[in-house]
Amino acid sequence: MAKRLSAIREQVKQRMRHQEEGKLDRRRMVAAVKGEKDIRTQHRDMPQTSFAASIALDMSGSMQDHIASGTLYDSAMVLSDTFDELEIPYEVRGFGSVNAQYKAMDDTTTDINRMGNLAAGNLSGTKLEDTAGLATSSLMARPEKNRLFVSLTDGALSDHAATVKQMEYARKQGIVTYGVFLSSDGNVNNHAMDEIYGPGNWTNIEQLSDLPDVVGKRLGVLFNKIR
């Protein structure tokens, strides 16, 4: 999957401001006089299809079998390996009645022990607003041109209305939102998913092993749109 996605990426010049090395930024002269260090600009070769990604995984009680069996962990690790190979900065979060973070955006390596919590216990209920808000803040802080928020769930959200507002805010900030609904019988509330992620911005999978593939396909679609 990573090789397929890599094949459609291309390089462009991108100006990076607020750097400590490079050409002096005249607009930062006052900051320079104050002794600040991030006063230079650089032109770097960066992929036009550069992405930062945030993955939120449902860790509610209804996911317990998938958690205990390790299938949620396995799918998350496949995504992790793909993002690593594509050099896409990413984070992994879990949501339930509370939220948890298993990998931070700035972590240079994946801590297997932290990720291993995806195969232990659960976070009770199904609330996404807080986790979506944290992910939005994290993605907005990134310099990458494109930012993607993906969340997986297997049921209705208890904070649906609040999550809808948070996701609308994220999209207004230029963040692409994409939902994956896990259901083996196709029992999906289409209207609710359209409200959360936007029409056409979600899909249904019947087994967790399909998660990396559908996320990869969505990235491929986004790459092609912005080439």
Q: Which domains does the chain have, with CATH numbers?
A: 13-45 (no CATH), 51-225 (3.40.50.410)
Is this structure's pTM higher than 0.75?
A: yes
∠ Cα 142 148 153 (to 5°)? 130
Please list, residue by residue across 167-197, b when 16 or more beta carbons sit within 10 angstroms of its beta carbon and e when fewer do: beebeeeebbbbbbbbeeeeeeeeebbebbb
pLDDT in tens, the chain (227 residues): 666 666 645 544 455 556 666 666 666 666 767 777 776 665 555 566 689 999 999 999 999 999 999 999 999 999 999 999 888 999 999 999 999 999 999 998 899 999 999 999 899 999 999 999 999 999 999 999 899 999 999 999 999 999 999 999 999 999 999 999 999 887 899 999 999 999 999 999 999 999 999 999 998 888 777 65
Of 96, 102, 100, the C-alpha closest to 79 is 102
pLDDT at 17: 55
pLDDT at 39: 61
Torsion of CA 112, 80, 59, 191, to 10 degrees: 180
> What are the φ/ψ torsions at residue 92 (nearest 5 degrees)?
-125, 125
DSSP state of 17: E
